[in-house]
Amino acid sequence: MCQKENTVASYKNIVVLTGAGVSAESGVATFRENGGLWEQHRVEDVATPEAFARDPDMVQSFYNMRRAQLASVGPNAAHSALGLLEKKFDGHVTVVTQNVDNLHERGGSSTVIHMHGELTKVRCSYCRNVFEWQGDCTQASRCPGCFNQPALRPHIVWFGEMPFEMDRIESLLRACDLFISIGTSGSVYPAAGFVSLVRSIGHAHTIEVNLEPSDGASYFAETRHGKAGSLVPLLVDELLV
C-alpha cells in the first residue's frame, strides 16, 4: 500500500491512542512490565465477568484501590501536551484511551474516548444506568437510580467483554490523517489492530511513541522510543508550528 505524503500543516484529523505507558510517569502502574498490575493480580481473579460473579468483593476492592489512587496522582507532561494540542490545533484531536484513569481530562483533553471504561464510574446491573462514583463501591452500595442492592459493578471493560464506542472509534480511524500511539504494548486487541486498519486505508501518517518498540512497532511508519513525558511535548511542539 502506498502511503500519501502528509505535511504537518495538512493534518486535520488526529487520533491519539494511549495506553498505560502515558500514565507511568504519573505513578500509575502499567500492566505487563516488571512489577506491573498483572504481575501482582491474576487477570482471572479481578478482570473478568466470571471473577465478579465468583468473588465480587475481591473485584470491587481491586477497583476501589485503583479509584482511590487517582487522588494521589496527577497528569504528567504528556497528558498536558495532549490537552494543549487539542486546544491549539487547527483541526480535530481525539484521544482514544485504553486507560481507566482520568488523567487525560485533568491534563486538559476534553474529547476522550475511554474504550476500556472509567474508574470514576459504576454501572447498575438492573437499570443499566451509568453513574459517576467517588470513593469505595461495595456489594452494600445501593444503585442511585433504581435503589437495588447489590447492583453496582465498576464501569470497566473486562476480558471477554466488548470495548466501548467501537463504531465511533472505527469512523475516527477511517477519517484520520495522523494516528499516534503512545505508551501501549500493542498486545491487547482491538486497540492493537488500530494501526493496521489506519494503514490499510492508506491516507494517514502513523507514529508510535513508546518506551521501547511495542509488539506492533513494525506497522508504524515512524517510531520514537523513550519516555512519553519527554517525547510527547516535543511531538506536540512539531504539530503546533
Residue 112, beta-bridge partner list: 95
Taking CB under 6 A as the rule, does residue 185 contact ligand OAD? yes
Nearest residue relative to ligand OAD (C-beta): 21
Strands of the 117-124 sheet, one edge to the other: 130-132, 117-124, 152-156
Marked catalytic residue, from 104, 114, 116, 205? 116
Q: With 0-12 CB in 10 A as exposed, 13-18 as middle and 19+ as buried, what is 12?
A: middle
Using alpha carbons only, how large is the chain's radius of gyration in Å?
18
Q: How far is the CB of 183 from ligand OAD (least distance, A)?
A: 4
Q: How far is the CB of 10 from ligand OAD (least distance, A)?
A: 27
Among 93, 143, 195, 228, indicate the residue that binds ligand OAD (CB under 6 A).
228
- Angstrom CA distances, 151 to 133, 164, 193, stand at 14, 20, 34
Taking CB under 6 A as the rule, does residue 102 contact ligand OAD? no
Residue 222, beta-bridge partner list: 207
Taking CB under 6 A as the rule, does residue 187 contact ligand OAD? yes
Taking CB under 6 A as the rule, does residue 217 contact ligand OAD? no
Which is closer to ligand OAD, CB of 73 or CB of 188?
188
3-state secondary structure 142-200: CCCCCCCCCCEEEEECCCCCCCCCHHHHHHHHHHCCEEEEECCCCCCCCHHHHHHHHHH
Q: How far is the CB of 20 from ligand OAD (least distance, A)?
A: 4
Cell of 132: 459517576
Within residues 13-72, the interface with ligand OAD by CB under 6 A covers 19-21, 24-25, 30-33, 36, 47
Q: Interface with ligand OAD by CB under 6 A: which residues?
A: 19-21, 24-25, 30-33, 36, 47, 98, 116, 157, 183-185, 187-188, 210-212, 214, 227-228
Question: So which residues are the catalytic ones?
Answer: 116
